[in-house]
Amino acid sequence: MKIAILVGSARKGGNTDLLAHAFAAGAAEHNEVELISVSNVHVNPCIGCNVCRKRPNHDCFQQDDMCVIHEKLKTADLIVFASPVYFYGLTAQLKAIVDRLHAPIRNEFQVKKLALLLVAADTIPEVFDSILIQYKSVLSYFHLADAGKVLVRGVEEKGAIQGNPALDEARALGQSIL
Ligand X SMILES: Cc1cc2nc3c(=O)[nH]c(=O)nc-3n(C[C@H](O)[C@H](O)[C@H](O)COP(=O)(O)O)c2cc1C
Task: Kindly list the residues in this chain that would bind ligand X in the complex (CB under 6 A).
Answer: 9, 11, 14-17, 84-88, 119-122, 127, 155-156, 158
Nearest residue to ligand X, scored by beta-carbon proximity: 14
Nearer to ligand X, 6 or 155 (CB): 155
The whole-angstrom separation of Cα 143 and Cα 79 is 14
CB of 171 to ligand X, least distance (A): 17
Nearer to ligand X, 105 or 150 (CB): 150
Q: Are 94 and 81 in contact (CB under 8 A)?
A: yes
Strands 113-119 and 145-152, how do they pair?
parallel
CB of 139 to ligand X, least distance (A): 23
Nearer to ligand X, 62 or 93 (CB): 93
The whole-angstrom separation of Cα 36 and Cα 164 is 23
Q: Are 80 and 4 in contact (CB under 8 A)?
A: yes
CB of 121 to ligand X, least distance (A): 4
The whole-angstrom separation of Cα 9 and Cα 36 is 11
Residue type, 94: L
Nearer to ligand X, 115 or 127 (CB): 127
Nearer to ligand X, 78 or 85 (CB): 85
Q: Are 6 and 72 in contact (CB under 8 A)?
A: no
Non-local (6+) Cβ contacts of 52 within 8 A are 58, 59, 60, 61, 102, 103, 104, 105
